Amino acid sequence: MSRRDEQELAARLARVLDGEETPGDELASLATVLERATEPARFEISEQEVEQALATVRPRLELRKHRRRRQPRLVLAFGTAAAAALAVLVVTFTQIGGLDVEAKALAALGGPGTVLHVDERIVPAVPGTFPVSTRTVWLDPGRHREAWGQVVRGIPIETTLVENGRVSRYLPEQNTVIVGSSCLAFASGCAEVLDPVGFYREALRAPGIVKSKRERIGGRDVYRLTLPVQSLPDAVPIEQRATIDAKTYLPVEIDWLEQRPGEGLRVVTRILVTRIERLSEEAAAEAFILPLSAGARIIQRAAPKAKLRLLGQRRLSLAEARGVVPKLLWLGDFYRGRTLLGVDQVRWNAGVAFRFRYDDITVWNYTSVIPPDLVAGRLAAPSKTLPAPLGVARFYSSRTGNVVAELERGGRSVAVVAPMLFKEDYFALIRGLRPLG
């Protein structure tokens, strides 16, 4: 059957399901089969939600037209009955591209007045690289709020609250709250304030080409959506691959993939969505209150008000570096065959930072100033938060495409950059940090 015939059959079937055409025997039988097959699997999404989602993702179609020629596409006006059979029609008859899947996926997450309650399990792509953690997440796009708590082996390691751009991070083991006037007050930037599911929703809304493919995995029908995250010149390409249930259109797994020069794409982090539910704003009101213990220390951080300017730098002896208070963290004179090449004090108009230089590893210690090499990329994926012996570690991609491992210790942050190493090596670097005594 030609593509034109498939499209005509799909259009006729849609009209039959909507009651606009009297079916012949063949179409009547097929319509009955489709309605019965989809009945137990229908996920209630209102027509208004679908239309709102379509209005958001339709601009992608115009973008695609500018990038490549496409075959003329049949636009169908589905009613309630036809919408229930859409998943079957897309694969079996019309082979409609990712636009419709994107709209359904976006609509399944609800509109601005819907709060999402999500449970996630974060696992390493390479077993044993870092401990498995769980996150309980609340997303309220209507009021520009997000909140989540992360637990490892039953121990809470961080609770984060974002309200209208203001970021509050509570570190229970240090009983410290770090409050940023905006995401730009942190080295990991706006990657710091996006949960993977929240990032997935924003990626569906953003312009760009999303690839979709229907598969069957473990007895379950799913769609695989590939969303480009970072494709900047001289940066490591990063993709987000979301697996969504073909019945509910809700995400069940989100993988982050990166591609280094001369290599294929490889999964570096996997987020398993174990539960996702839609709530009203009233039902989730108490979820956006930061739980603090008595005597919690509060540290304020502000986004830079002026463009960062380098004022100068000087070489420090180890004796001078040992005199810095609080103590600096380093990897020792030698680290796995790498020699310490020097210690520098670097001065900017916003403050001072200290840099330990090894062969292909750099360790930064900083407080009020964020070294430019550590600033997160504009399109960076959400940071990954993990417990570490000396604090809470955060992994993200800088604007140059390098992976950064940042150790948050309240009063001072420490960051490690090693362009030649893989992400699984970074956790070992963080564990190797120790005070300069």
Claim to verify: residue 206 and residue 132 sit in the same structural domain: yes
Instruction: State which amino acid sits at residue 262.
Output: G
Instruction: Flag whether 248 is in a domain.
Output: yes
How confident is the model at residue 262, as a pLDDT?
A: 72
By 3-state DSSP, what share of the chain in percent is helix, strand and coil, each rounded to 5?
A: 25, 35, 35
The residue range of the domain holding 48 is 3-96
Instruction: Flag whether 345 is in a domain.
Output: yes
Query: CA gyration radius for the chain?
Result: 25
Please spell the DSSP secondary structure of 216-271, one letter per residue. EETTEEEEEEEEEEE--TTS--EEEEEEEETTT--EEEEEEEE--TTS--EEEEEE
Domain boundary among 224, 259, 288: 288
Domain boundary among 34, 64, 96: 96
**CA–CA separation, 60 and 248 (whole Å):** 23
Instruction: Flag whether 146 is in a domain.
Output: yes
How confident is the model at residue 69, as a pLDDT?
A: 46
Claim to verify: residue 31 and residue 155 sit in the same structural domain: no
Read off the pLDDT of residues 289-326 as tens digits, 9 standing for 90 and up.
Answer: 988 888 898 888 877 777 889 999 999 999 999 999 98
The CATH number covering residue 190 comes to 2.50.20.10
Instruction: Flag whether 123 is in a domain.
Output: yes
355 or 92, which is more confident: 355
Claim to verify: residue 140 and residue 278 sit in the same structural domain: yes
Claim to verify: residue 253 and residue 353 sit in the same structural domain: no
Claim to verify: residue 24 and residue 61 sit in the same structural domain: yes
Claim to verify: residue 85 and residue 128 sit in the same structural domain: no
Q: Is the pLDDT of residue 367 over 80?
A: yes
How confident is the model at residue 152, as a pLDDT?
A: 86
Instruction: Flag whether 282 is in a domain.
Output: yes
Claim to verify: residue 184 and residue 212 sit in the same structural domain: yes
Read off the pLDDT of residues 134-146 as tens digits, 9 standing for 90 and up.
Answer: 999 999 988 889 9
Read off the pLDDT of residues 226-243 as tens digits, 9 standing for 90 and up.
Answer: 876 655 444 556 678 899
How confident is the model at residue 432, as a pLDDT?
A: 92
**CA–CA separation, 120 and 254 (whole Å):** 10
How confident is the model at residue 234, as a pLDDT?
A: 46
Please tell me the least confidently modeled range out of 130-134, 170-174, 277-281, 386-390: 386-390
Instruction: Flag whether 298 is in a domain.
Output: no
Cα 118–Cα 396–Cα 185 angle in degrees, nearest 5: 90
Read off the pLDDT of residues 128-185 as tens digits, 9 standing for 90 and up.
Answer: 777 888 999 999 988 889 999 999 888 888 899 999 888 898 988 888 888 888 887 8
Claim to verify: residue 229 and residue 166 sit in the same structural domain: yes
**CA–CA separation, 69 and 71 (whole Å):** 7
Cα distances from 313 to residues 310, 339, 373, in angstroms, run 8, 21, 15
Q: Is the pLDDT of residue 224 over 80?
A: yes
Claim to verify: residue 264 and residue 338 sit in the same structural domain: no
Query: What are the beta bridge partners of residue 330?
Result: 434
Structure confidence at residue 17 as a pLDDT band (50, 70, 90): low
Instruction: Flag whether 53 is in a domain.
Output: yes
**Token pair of 14, please?**
């849609």
Claim to verify: residue 271 and residue 164 sit in the same structural domain: yes
Burial of 279 by CB count in 10 Å (0-12 exposed, 13-18 middle, 19+ buried)? Answer: middle
Cα 34–Cα 38–Cα 39 angle in degrees, nearest 5: 115
Domain boundary among 70, 96, 122: 96
Claim to verify: residue 310 and residue 278 sit in the same structural domain: no
Q: How many residues does the chain have?
A: 437
Q: Is the pLDDT of residue 382 over 70?
A: no
User: In 3D, which of 190, 178, 202 has the Cα closest to residue 412?
Assistant: 178
267 or 271, which is more confident: 271
Q: What percent of the chain has pLDDT over 90?
A: 27
Claim to verify: residue 76 and residue 140 sit in the same structural domain: no
Q: Which residues contact 84 (CB under 8 A, 6 or more apart)?
A: 17, 35, 38, 39, 42
Instruction: Flag whether 297 is in a domain.
Output: no
Count the domains in the chain.
Answer: 3
